[in-house]
Amino acid sequence: MSPGSYDTPMEVWNQDAVTAARQLIGYRFYVKLGDGSLVGGVITETEAYTADDAASHTFHGETARNSVMFSGAGKLYVYFTYGMHWCANIVTGPDRSGQAVLLRALRPDSGITYMRANRKGRPDAELVDGPAKLCQALRITGDDNGAEINEGRFVLRTPLGRPPTVKATTRIGIRHDQQRLWRFIAISCD
């Protein structure tokens, strides 16, 4: 499959994390609220992590913390970082491979009022423009770790419109394997 092709979510997350991270740009990620409404938007930034990557939680093998990354594609891996922030990842690749794609940013298109309330009055441009902000705005916490995507609260939908233009850059906020161009950013996105 070529980067930017519009496949079903399952076909995207069954790939290696690097391929999936690029392809997920333009997909739409939502949290389903109790009343059935969706909150979220278009994925505009991702980062890939694999088991052979020293920056990955799975680099030293399976632990209680990272076990979801080894449990099969299509699940949400949620972890706590810096003692204060939740971050959400989509597990990718073959079973037991320890891969995931960090959701770094969205372009909101549904549930803006809900996100504003959760982000306590932050400007709209800052609602979901970072992995911790995204989790706060969508109320994603450790209770969501291991949730199946498209089986309950979390919804991943294929893109609308033209394929986005995507730029690959080095990842940020890590100490190891910084040279890898595994951070993907939408340059243009419908």
Q: What pLDDT digit, counting tens, does each position of 91-130 carry?
A: 999 888 899 999 999 999 999 999 999 999 899 999 999 9
CA 14, 20, 23, 25 torsion: positive or negative?
positive
Residue 99 lies in a domain: yes
pLDDT at 121: 81
Q: Are 91 and 145 in contact (CB under 8 A)?
A: no
Residue 2 lies in a domain: no
User: Of 48, 93, 52, 47, which Cα lies nearest the Cα of 70?
Assistant: 93
Residue 141 lies in a domain: yes
Residue 45 lies in a domain: yes
pLDDT at 2: 37
Give the CA diameter of the chain. 44
Residue 3 lies in a domain: no
Q: How much is the pTM? A: 0.90
Residue 102 lies in a domain: yes
pLDDT at 59: 60
pLDDT at 57: 64
Residue 4 lies in a domain: no
pLDDT under 70 in the chain at which residues? 1-8, 54-59, 174, 189-190
Residue 1 lies in a domain: no
Residue 32: which domain range? Answer: 9-188
pLDDT at 3: 37
User: Of 21, 31, 28, which Cα lies nearest the Cα of 42?
Assistant: 28
Q: How many domains does the chain have?
A: 1
Q: Assign residue 159 the CATH number of its domain.
A: 3.10.300.10
